[in-house]
Structure 1
Amino acid sequence: MVIDFEATTPTGYPAQPIEVAALALRYESDAWTVGRQFASLIRPPAFAPVTPAVTAQTGLTAEQVSQAPGPAEALGALDRRFAVGKQYLLVAQHAATEANIIYYQREHCPALARIDLLDTIPLARYLVPGLPNYQLDTLLAHFSIKQPADRHRAPADVDVTAQVFVRLVSAADESGQLGDLAALVKIAGRTAKCNMPAQGGLFDIHPAGGRGHDEPV
């Protein structure tokens, strides 16, 4: 499952989500297929208003999000997409951002908060060394992926992140550097904070193994 948030960053508080998008990817019959997609605006709390700077970056306005469902409703709806007993992996560009947001919203999305992550940035560093940086725009240019008109909106960003991830997996397969999903996770996997001992940091390398290529991410 590829995921992306847009958020406000109020002083003295964790980032507060104002939009989320996710899409399911599954590898089967030697090809990646896109499954169900989800997107929702999220109404932020009063202490985390949409600022002019957020509007300049995302295009979202305070008026738009004021009519949106709150975190409990929006993230609860996303959380119900995850079936009990199935294994998932969250894919994100700079997964620390998504991981932090999910952790601080965990009461609204307990299933989501238990899913480990794979960060496209360290994966890209490993597979495509020598780029000037590993920001999403740089990776889009490297892989000749068209820049979406609504870049910095969650649905657009999750779509192009998924495209980058598929290109990275293809590069790994063609080069023979990483043989399966477990190898990708060893390079770029991150353990969700809810799955770690209380004294641990936010991220840790996910143990290798435990997932096959045909399982959803």
Structure 2
Amino acid sequence: MGSLTDDPDFRAMTFVVIDFEATTPRGYPAQPIEVAARALRYDDGGWLHRGASASLIRPPAFAPVTPADTAQTGLTAGQLQEAPTPAEALGALDRRFTPGTPYLLVAQHAATEANVIHNQREHCPTLARVDLLDTIPLAKHLVPGLPNYKLDTLLAHFSIPQPADRHRAYADVDVTAQVFLGLVALADEGGQLGDLAALVKIAGRTAKCNLPVQGGLFDL
């Protein structure tokens, strides 16, 4: 089996590590208050950084920042009062995706990011159709036996320092990217994943916009 990073499909792929911070209003889906993304691509000399983006996002009136949100992220209602709207922030991020370029999103517990993106899909239609990789099943496959697969546990395993601003989107994207690179290096060393298809089989998550639409039970 060849190494993962020798696979032409892997080398052609741009991996976009993404993270949201969000409020969780009762009766509504999570509403983003911050987003960050970092694009990575592998070349002969190693990993290339292809750009980064971060933005605060003003939540709607029905999803105010709570004291619990502030305790976790440090973000306050005052900081977000003049932030870009979801349409502005996510629209700007969406325009950074080049048509015809293959992308995969990378996230820790990707279902969370996938749900936020899907619920905001009218503002980021291109982003909403990008499939995802989840670092949790990838870590379970490559690093069996850890007590759990939370981000902090993976940071400790890879000796990645905890950022001072943990739970801010840009900080979490940075350390998630480091975890992802560490996992890819393990896959190369152990020869467990020989190509992009094997990586996707273990850790891939289909974007909700790409799932087939099930017709009504009594459609004619």
Q: What is the TM-score with the length of structure 2 in the denominator? A: 0.90
Q: Which residue of 2 aligns with 1:140?
A: 155
Asked if 1:45 is matched to 2:57, the reply is no
User: What does residue 191 of structure 1 align with?
Assistant: 206
| Counterpart amino acid of residue 144 in structure 2 | P
Query: Deviations along 1:170-199, whole A, 9 cap, x unmatched?
Result: 001000101122211110101000001123
How far the C-alpha of 1:50 sits from its partner, in A, is 0.4
Per-residue deviation, residues 54-86 of structure 1 (Å, max 9, x unmatched): 000000001001110000000000000001111
Give the C-alpha shift of residue 15 in structure 1: 0.2
Q: For residue 139 of structure 1, what is the amino acid of its counterpart?
A: L
Gaps of 5+ in 1: 201-217
Letter in 1 for 2:85: G
Partner amino acid for 1:181? L
Structure 2 unmatched runs, 5+: 1-15, 216-220
User: Could you tell me which residue of structure 2 aligns to residue 62 of structure 1?
Assistant: 77
Aligned to 1:71: 86
Alignment partners' CA distance in 1, 2:165 and 2:67: 17
User: 1:21 corresponds to which residue?
Assistant: 36
Q: Which residue, 105, 111, 126 being the options, matches 1:90? A: 105
Distance in 2 (CA, whole Å) between partners of 1:171 and 1:180 is 13
| 1:30 Cα deviation after fit | 4.5
How far apart in 1 are the matches of 2:63 and 2:191? 46
Q: 5 Å matches for 1:120-199?
A: 120-199=135-214
Counterpart residue identity of residue 157, structure 2: H
In 1, Cα distance between equivalents of 2:58 and 2:118 = 18
Alpha-carbon separation, structure 2, partners of 1:145 and 1:54: 25
Letter matched to residue 128 of structure 1: V
Measured on the aligned residues, the alpha-carbon RMSD in Å equals 1.0
Alignment TM-score, normalising by the size of structure 1: 0.91
Count how many residue pairs are aligned between Structure 1 and Structure 2.
200
Counterpart CA distance in 2 for 1:198 and 1:8 is 29
Alpha-carbon displacement from aligned partner over 1:131-177 (angstroms, at most 9, x marks no partner):
00000000000000010000000000000000000000000100010
- Matches of 1:80 and 1:43 in 2, distance apart? 19
SS in 2 for 1:187: helix
CA distance in 1, matches of 2:168, 2:36: 9
Determine if the alignment matches structure 1 residue 118 to structure 2 residue 128.
no
Q: How does 1:100-115 map to 2 (within 5 A)?
A: 100-115=115-130
Task: Quote the Cα distance in structure 2 between the aligned partners of 1:77 and 1:169.
Answer: 29
Choose from 6, 18, 27 the match for 1:3: 18
Secondary structure at the aligned position of 2:126 is classed as helix
Counterpart secondary structure, 1:172: helix
Residue deviations 1:39-60, cap 9 Å, x none?
Answer: 0000000000000000000000
